[in-house]
A = this chain, B = another copy of it.
Amino acid sequence: MVRFYDTEVASRFLLGTARYPSPESLAEAVRRSRAEIVTVSLRRESVGGGKVGHAFWDLVKDLGVKVLPNTAGCHTARDAVNTARMAREVFGTSWIKLEVIGDEGTLQPDPFALVEAARELAADGFQVFPYTTEDLVVAERLVAAGCRVLMPWGAPIGTGRGLNNTYGLRLMRRHFPETTLVVDAGIGAPSHAAAAMEMGFDAILLNTAVATASDPPAMAEAFAEAIRAGRRAFEAGLMEETDLAVASTPVFGAPFSPFAG
């Protein structure tokens, strides 16, 4: 089980709901991912509308999973805070994936606005899931602001580059042994997700790698297996890497050996 504030879930895979070829594909992907938490957003409703949002919301509710609303697209603390408040009302949850974009090219978070928004939202009773970098000082500020979950990037959103700075992520895990750490964004292949779990991260959040696969539901299942594999390996105690070879088959008693045995 992995803990997100006062909630415990069995699945360590959080899945995004965007960019799927069809609603059926999304629904099937969520099912095969066995995810218990999916991310959602708020967008402007078309005039005379309510239908689009309504339909999507029904689809998600039918999936029987928890939702984690995000503040994607916000560039200031104020917009993020007000988006979070709108999300809490519509989705009926105090969970918020806090994204405050600071650079268009990398969509990297703005650490200043992120910490400010996290403080305000925590004070207002939100349970904040901040999308951040591997910067330890920013992470410390977020924890000080009340965050019990941190979501460092693997690589920029949608790049599929995997773990861009394994050294930094490893240090982050070591630095925050108690905080729930989720690698979010940049994961492109199941092997990337497994590698993060083997390092001891608590969970993985991704979207693009599943939604843009040729077969999204199958890819969702592949990631689910890889995440379980990585976690299981972390708990089963991975071997130490060595520089020189060590025979697996016993050396002693080899046929035709000049030595007795």
- Contact: A254 with B74, CB < 8 Å? yes
**A103 CA to B137 CA in the complex, in Å?**
7
Q: A239: which of B156, B208, B232 is its contact (CB, 8 Å)? A: B208
In this assembly, does A135 line the interface, its C-beta being within 8 Å of a C-beta of chain B?
yes
- The interface on chain A, measured as residues whose beta carbon lies within 8 A of the other chain's beta carbons, has a size of 101
Copy number of this protein in the oligomer? 4
Q: A164-B165, A222-B233, A249-B72 are in contact. Are A256 and B83 (CB under 8 A)?
A: yes
What residues of B have a CB within 8 angstroms of the CB of A109 in the complex? 137
User: What 1/0 flags go to A140-168 for Cβ under 8 Å of B?
Assistant: 11000000000000011111110011011
The listed residue (B82, B137, B226, B245) touching A229 by CB distance below 8 A is B226
Asked if A254 and B223 make an inter-chain contact with CB atoms under 8 angstroms apart, the answer reads no
Residues of B within 8 A of A127 (CB): none
Residues 97-127 of chain A, each 1 if its beta carbon lies under 8 Å from chain B, else 0: 0000011011111111001000000000000
A167 neighbours in B (Cβ, 8 Å): 155, 161, 164
Q: Mark A204-232, 1 if CB is under 8 A from B, else 0.
A: 00011101111110110111111011101
Q: A237–B215 contact, CB under 8 A?
A: yes
Task: Among B73, B105, B188, point to the contact of A257 (Cβ < 8 A).
Answer: B73
Q: How far, in whole Å, are A247 and B106 apart by their CA atoms in the complex?
A: 9
Bound-state CA distance A256–B218 (Å) is 36
Partner among B41, B111, B136, B247 whose Cβ is within 8 Å of the Cβ of A157: B247
Interface pair B246/A208, CB less than 8 Å apart: yes
Alpha-carbon gap, A253 to B165, bound state (A)? 33
CA–CA, A155 and B72, complex, Å:
31
Least Cβ–Cβ distance between A168 and chain B, in angstroms: 7
Please indicate the chain B residues that have their CB under 8 angstroms from the CB of A137 in the complex: 102-103, 108-112
Given contacts A105-B244, A233-B219, A247-B157, contact A254 B198 (CB under 8 A): no
Set of chain B residues within 8 Å of A225, measured between Cβ atoms: 225-226, 228-229, 232
Contacts of A136 in B (CB 8 A): 102-103, 105-106, 108
Given A112-B137, A160-B242, A248-B18: A215 and B229 interface contact (C-beta under 8 Å)? no
In the complex, which of the residues B156, B235, B253 contacts A218, with contact meaning CB atoms closer than 8 Å?
B235
Interface residues of A (CB under 8 A from B): 16, 18-19, 41-44, 70, 72-74, 79, 82-83, 86, 102-103, 105-112, 115, 133, 135-138, 140-141, 155-161, 164-165, 167-168, 171, 174-175, 188-192, 194-195, 198, 207-209, 211-216, 218-219, 221-226, 228-230, 232-233, 235-257, 261
